[in-house]
A and B are shown apart, each in its own frame.
Chain A
Amino acid sequence: MSKTDHSLSIADQHSGVLDGVQKGALTLASLGVLGLIVSLPFSTIPQPAIWLALSLSAIVAGTLWYAHHSYANKPAGIKNNGVWHSGLTTRGIAAWVVGILLTGLYILLYFYPEYLGQAAEGEQNKGLIALFDPLAQLLHGGPASQWFMYGTLYTVSILAMGYKFILKYRNNKYQIVRTISVMFFQLGFAFLLPELLARLSLPYNDFKNMWPLNYSFFDEWNVKGLIDAGGFGLFMLLFGVAMIFVISPILTYFYGKRWYCSWVCGCGGLAETAGDPFRQLSDKSTKAWKMERWIIHTVLVFAVVMTVALVYSYLGDSAKGFWVTRGMLLGIIGLALGSVATVVLVRPGMVKEVNNTIRFLALGLLVAIIGLTVHAYITGRGDVFFVESYPLRKWYGFFIGAIFSGVIGVGFYPLMGSRVWCRFGCPMAAILGMQQRFFSRFRITTNGGQCISCGNCSTYCEMGIDVRSYAQRGENIVRSSCVGCGICAAVCPRGVLKLESRSSAGGKVQDRVSSDPIAIGKTGATLR
Chain B
Amino acid sequence: MPHIVIIGNGISGITAARHIRKRSDARITVISGESEHFFSRTALMYVYMGHMRHIDIKPYEDHFWAKNRIELKHAWVQQVDAEKKHVKLQDGKTVDYDKLIIATGSASNKFGWPGQDLPGVQGLYSLQDLEAMELNTKGITRAVIVGGGLIGVEMAEMLHSRNIPVTLLVRETIFWGGVLPNEEAGLIGRHIIENGIVLRMGTEMKEILPCANGRVCAVVTRTGEEIACQFVGLTAGVHPNIAWLKDSTAIKTDKGVLVNEFLETNMPDICAIGDCAQFHEHPDLQRKNIEQVWYTGRMMGETVAKTVTGERTAYRPGHWFNSAKFFDLEYQTYGWVRHELQPGEEGHYWEHTNGKVALHLVWDQKSRVLHGVNSIGLRLRHEVFDRWLEAKATVDHVVAHLEEAAFDPEFYEKMEPLIRMSFKQAKTVTA
Residues of B within 8 A of A486 (CB): 409
A454 interface contact, C-beta 8 A: yes
Name the CB-closest residue of A to B301. Answer: A525
Name the CB-closest residue of A to B322. Answer: A450
Interface of A is mostly: loop
Using A173-B411, A285-B61, A526-B302 as known contacts, say yes or no to A454 and B332 having CB atoms under 8 A apart.
Answer: no
B53 to chain A, nearest CB (A): 5
A286 interface contact, C-beta 8 A: yes
Complexed CA–CA distance, A352 and B378 (Å): 38
Binary interface encoding of chain A residues 496-512 relative to chain B, with 1 for a CB under 8 A from any of its CBs, else 0: 00110000000000000
Complexed CA–CA distance, A176 and B318 (Å): 38
A523 contacts B315, CB within 8 Å?
Answer: yes
Q: Which of chain A's residues 1-43 have a Cβ closer than 8 Å to chain B?
A: 14-15, 17
B11 interface contact, C-beta 8 A: yes
B302 contacts A453, CB within 8 Å?
Answer: no
A172 interface contact, C-beta 8 A: yes
Binary interface encoding of chain A residues 143-172 relative to chain B, with 1 for a CB under 8 A from any of its CBs, else 0: 000000000000000000000000000011
B321 contacts A449, CB within 8 Å?
Answer: yes
Name the CB-closest residue of B to A448. Answer: B382
Complexed CA–CA distance, A447 and B161 (Å): 28
Chain B residues within 8 Å of chain A by Cβ, number: 55
Using A455-B56, A518-B382, A525-B318 as known contacts, say yes or no to A76 and B40 having CB atoms under 8 A apart.
Answer: no
Using A495-B330, A523-B316 as known contacts, say yes or no to A456 and B51 having CB atoms under 8 A apart.
Answer: yes
Complexed CA–CA distance, A448 and B334 (Å): 11
B386 to chain A, nearest CB (A): 7
Residues of A within 8 A of B49 (CB): 80-82
A453 contacts B59, CB within 8 Å?
Answer: yes
Using A77-B328, A84-B50, A447-B407 as known contacts, say yes or no to A522 and B56 having CB atoms under 8 A apart.
Answer: no
A174 contacts B409, CB within 8 Å?
Answer: yes
Q: Show 30 A/B contacts (Cβ-Cβ < 8 Å), sorted by A.
A: A75-B328, A81-B50, A81-B51, A84-B50, A84-B51, A85-B50, A171-B328, A172-B409, A173-B410, A174-B409, A174-B410, A177-B411, A447-B381, A449-B321, A450-B295, A453-B59, A454-B42, A454-B52, A455-B59, A493-B325, A495-B332, A498-B379, A498-B409, A520-B299, A520-B321, A520-B382, A523-B314, A525-B299, A525-B302, A527-B298
Using A81-B161, A173-B411, A459-B52 as known contacts, say yes or no to A448 and B59 having CB atoms under 8 A apart.
Answer: no
B407 contacts A286, CB within 8 Å?
Answer: no
Residues of A within 8 A of B163 (CB): 14-15, 17
Q: Count A-B pairs with CB separation below 8 Å.
A: 159
A453 contacts B40, CB within 8 Å?
Answer: yes
Interface residues on A, range: 35 or more
Complexed CA–CA distance, A520 and B320 (Å): 9
Return the 4 tightest CB-CB contacts between A and B, nearest first. A448-B382, A77-B328, A454-B43, A495-B379
Q: Which of B58, B317, B407 has the most CB of A within 10 A?
A: B407
Complexed CA–CA distance, A286 and B191 (Å): 40
Residues of A within 8 A of B191 (CB): 75
B386 contacts A448, CB within 8 Å?
Answer: yes
Residues of B within 8 A of A75 (CB): 191, 194-195, 327-328
Binary interface encoding of chain A residues 431-447 relative to chain B, with 1 for a CB under 8 A from any of its CBs, else 0: 00000000000000001
Partner of B303, one of A17, A76, A493, A523: A523
Partner of B40, one of A86, A452, A499, A525: A452
A244 to chain B, nearest CB (A): 27
B52 to chain A, nearest CB (A): 5
Q: Name 9 extra pairs, CB < 8 A, besides A173-B410, A454-B40, A490-B409.
A: A80-B51, A83-B51, A172-B409, A173-B409, A174-B409, A495-B330, A522-B318, A523-B303, A526-B302
